[in-house]
Every structure is written in structure tokens, then in C-alpha cells.
Chain A
Amino acid sequence: MISGEHLGDEAAVYALNALAADDKSAADRHLAECPECRQTVAGYRGVADVLPLAAPTTDPDAGVRRRVMAAVRSDASAQHVLRKNLGRDSLSIGRARVPRLVSARALAAFAVVILAAVVSVEVRQLVHAQRQMAEMRSQVVANNQIADQGHAVMVALAKGKYWKLPAAEGGAWHGAILQPPNEKTAMLFGMFPRAPHGMVYRVWVIRHGSVHGAGMIHGSGMTMMHMSMPVQSGDVVAFTMEMPTNSPVPTASYMMKVTLD
């Protein structure tokens, strides 16, 4: 946009969050000064707000609710302890700063030092306890995830199909594909390397010459991902490392291909 002019058609693009950073900064500056354009943008945003409804309805896994609530409870607990500690700390300081008897100044000063030391120890203990509590909660969440993974493995081993992926060159990681009869196909890895900053690993299924995106691997070490499609014998499972886009085809060359027996 040209400085000083109204946004015009760009107001609609702004409402869709489709301006490049520089253009958005310029538009933000203009909007701060122009109620007319703010009103125009608000109108377009009202339309943009219903666009999420156009997305095909898909439900998240139940595990997401558990993760969200575990994180929120941990957060709430941390804030509670923090407020409690801040309250005690300021109370103690308040008392220390208002000694009532001038003749007892030395004694009061000594008491302040002792009190501060006691409070300091108490605060440290509480913070330590809080950290332990948060770690335990994280551990419980992690254990739940491991239990879920373990369950998936057992079901697949008992009733479904299982493909072991050969170790990558140098044996840096290994993995397996588990396909239970009535559940989503899962891919498990051990010692999976972390992707370089700004890059992700993507998984592809090549079937009869057609390439299908099957998911992104976000974790590292021992990790698991659900594939977006079931696999079958004869499929080629391939891996790329690339920028995170929703491109339907690989944007980098394959790092590894495995043909499923």
C-alpha cells in the first residue's frame, strides 16, 4: 500500500492474514490511525471467522485432551505455588522494614536476617517441591503415551500386520510399521535423529507409482507417528527431509526407501 492511502482491496487480504510481514506492518500502522479501515477489516474478518467451518470435520485423538489438561493443571499448580510464595515473601519483608522499637533495632535486624534465611529456605523447598510435582505430572503423561504405544504394539502383534524397517545406513535408527486390523497404522522409531532446525522428516507411501503423503515425524529418539493411510504389501515407504509445507508431493529427494514385503 502507498503510505497515507486507505487499504482498499488489501483490507480483505489483511483479514485473511495473507499479507507478507512488511505489508502487514504498513497496514498495521495505517489501521492504528484509520477507524474507517478498521471498520472495513472488521467486516471482512466477520466473514473470515466462518471459514473454519468449511474445513471437513475431523476429531482429534482423545489423547490430546489428556495432554492439554495435564499441561493446564501443571500450569495452574505452578501459578498457585508462585502466588503463595510471593505472598509470604512480601509479608516477611514488610514486617522486617517496620521495626516498632528503636532500641531493638539490632535485634530486629538479626531477626530479619534469620527470617529471610528461613523464608528463603522455605521458598526454595516449595519451588523444589513444585518442580518435582511438575516432573511427576510430565512423567505420568509420558507414561500414558508409552502405555498407548505399548498397547498399539500389542494389538498389532496379536492381530494385525507388522513390518520391520531395516536400520538406516550406519544403524543410526530403526523402526517398524504396525497395522492393527481396525486402528490407524502406526510407525515407531527407536533412536530417530532430530531434524535440523527448520526442517522436518516426511513419510511417503508410493503405491503403483503414485506418491501419497503419509505424515510428518515431529519427535526424535524413541517416537511414534500415525500414518494417514494404511499400507499394504508391495507399497514403498519413503522418507524425505524438507521444509515443512503441505505440498502433496516431496520437495526433496528421498533419503531412504523401503519396499514392504
Chain B
Amino acid sequence: MIRSERSDEQLVDALTKQDTRALEELYDRYKTVAYSLAYRILGDRGAAEDVLQDAFLRLWRRAASFQGSRGTVRGWLMAIVHHRAIDMLRSATTSSSELAFDEVPEYESEDIPPWQAVWDAQRGELVRGALDRLPLEQKKSIELAYFSGYTQVEIAGLMGVPLGTVKGRVRMGLEKLKNLLNSASLGATSS
């Protein structure tokens, strides 16, 4: 029997009705990309697994606060994983910053196809390719900020450049990345 795929939004709606199967479906759909991000940031399997577990528990407990008009489920989950992993990296305190839903990126929802893994792998290649095409200092600034959890001030210190230079590099890098991804039909953003 072929079971019809529920959309992310339908699954989150089911979470609010205490449907644990819905969380299993979301876990299977996003475990790889979420875990890969956490592992890329933390470089430690155990810590990345803790982040993954924590992120899905938060998704379960805070599903009612999700608003489809403000962003995607995937974007929300990735933001939770990123914040949690960076929190863990920046300090070992057990408390962590709660991510309110209004902190979620505001852009149009996209259809997540059922062949998520294949799609993600292809997109991953494109994103890595696009990052590699950025000038080295822009790429490095973005990676240090997003994947290594450094603040702009710390990046300026590490790279030995003024703070304004770091801001400019990050902005130019993201804008160029956006253009590269849009030209590759990845539709990085709607704004």
C-alpha cells in the first residue's frame, strides 16, 4: 500500500494533537540534514546527537506556536538546531536561548518533495559549489560565523581586519551566494 505523504504543515498540525507518528515522520524526513548541521558545527557525534534530540523535543512541545505564514517547518527546525548547537559551542551552560517563532526566517514556503534525501544531496552539492565560488575571505567569514559560531568581533580578531570589513564581507558573501543559488534555481530567498 502506498501511503500518501503528509506535508510538513500537516505533520506539525498533527503534533498539536499529540500524534507521535507525525514526529516520527518529521524525524525521518529531516534527521540527516539536521544532524549534519549539528555535527558540522560541533564536530562531535555525541554532542550533535544531543542537539538533534533536543531540537525534535522542542518541535514537539512548541508545535502550537508554529505559523505557516511566517516560514517553513524546515526553516524553523534548522534554526532551532543552529541556535542550540551554537549555544553549546559558545558555552557549556545547560541553559539555552529559546527560539521564538518570530525569529524564524520570513520567506515563502517551498514544497518539500518526498524524495527529500536525494533532493537534499543535490542541493548540498549546489550550495557547496556556490560557497566555493565566493572569494576566499567572504567564504571564510560566512563559515566562521555560521558553522563555527564566532561573533563578528571575534572574526575580526581572528582574521586581523577591522570590524566593518567583516560586516561587509558577510553581506557581500551572502548577496553573491543568493545570486548564485537563484541562478541555480535553488530559490534561496523570496525577498
Contact = CB atoms under 8 A, between A and B. Distances in A.
Given A53-B127, A72-B56, A215-B45, A43 B178 contact: yes
A67 interface: yes
Interface stretch (A4-12, A123-131, A147-155, A252-260): A4-12
Contact of B105 (A49, A64, A71, A244): A49
A69 B121 CA distance: 26
Contacts of A17: 82-83, 86, 145-146
Interface of A: 8-13, 15-20, 23, 38-40, 42-61, 64-65, 67-69, 71-73, 75-76, 79-80, 197-200, 213, 215-216, 218, 225-226, 228, 243-246
B124 A64 contact: no
B44 A50 contact: no
Nearest to B122: A53
Given A42-B107, A49-B79, A55-B33, 20 more contacts: A17-B146, A18-B145, A18-B152, A18-B155, A43-B107, A43-B178, A44-B171, A46-B188, A47-B177, A48-B174, A49-B188, A50-B186, A51-B147, A53-B123, A53-B127, A58-B32, A58-B35, A75-B60, A228-B44, A246-B43
A11 B171 contact: yes
B174 A218 contact: no
Given A11-B171, A42-B106, A18 B146 contact: yes
A218 B47 contact: yes
Contact of B46 (A10, A47, A225): A225
Contacts of A65: 24, 27-28, 31
Interface of B: 18, 20, 23-24, 27-28, 31-37, 39-50, 52-53, 56-57, 60-61, 74-75, 78-79, 81-83, 86, 88-89, 91-93, 105-107, 120-121, 123-124, 126-128, 131, 142, 145-153, 155, 164, 166-168, 170-171, 173-175, 177-178, 181, 186, 188-191
B50 A218 contact: yes
What 7 pairs between A and B have smallest CB-CB spacing? A46-B189, A45-B105, A55-B40, A18-B145, A9-B167, A43-B191, A12-B171
B168 A9 contact: yes
Q: Which of A39, A64, A71 has the most CB of B within 10 A?
A: A64
Contacts of A245: 89
A215 B44 CA distance: 6
A60 B48 contact: yes
Contacts of A73: 20
A141 B52 CA distance: 17
A55 B39 contact: yes
Contacts of B175: 12
A216 B46 CA distance: 7
B18 A47 contact: no
Contact of B148 (A23, A55, A216, A246): A246
Nearest to B24: A69
B177 A52 contact: no
A218 B88 CA distance: 12
Nearest to B105: A45
Contacts of A67: 53
A58 B27 contact: no
Nearest to B123: A53
Nearest to B124: A53
Contacts of A75: 57, 60-61
Given A17-B82, A218-B46, A12 B52 contact: no
B72 to A, nearest CB: 8
Contacts of B40: 54-56
Given A17-B83, A50-B181, A44 B167 contact: no
B171 A79 contact: no
Contacts of A10: 152, 167
A20 B166 CA distance: 14
A75 B120 CA distance: 31
A3 to B, nearest CB: 17
Contacts of B131: 54
A246 B41 contact: yes
A65 B31 CA distance: 9
B18 A76 contact: yes
A64 B53 contact: yes
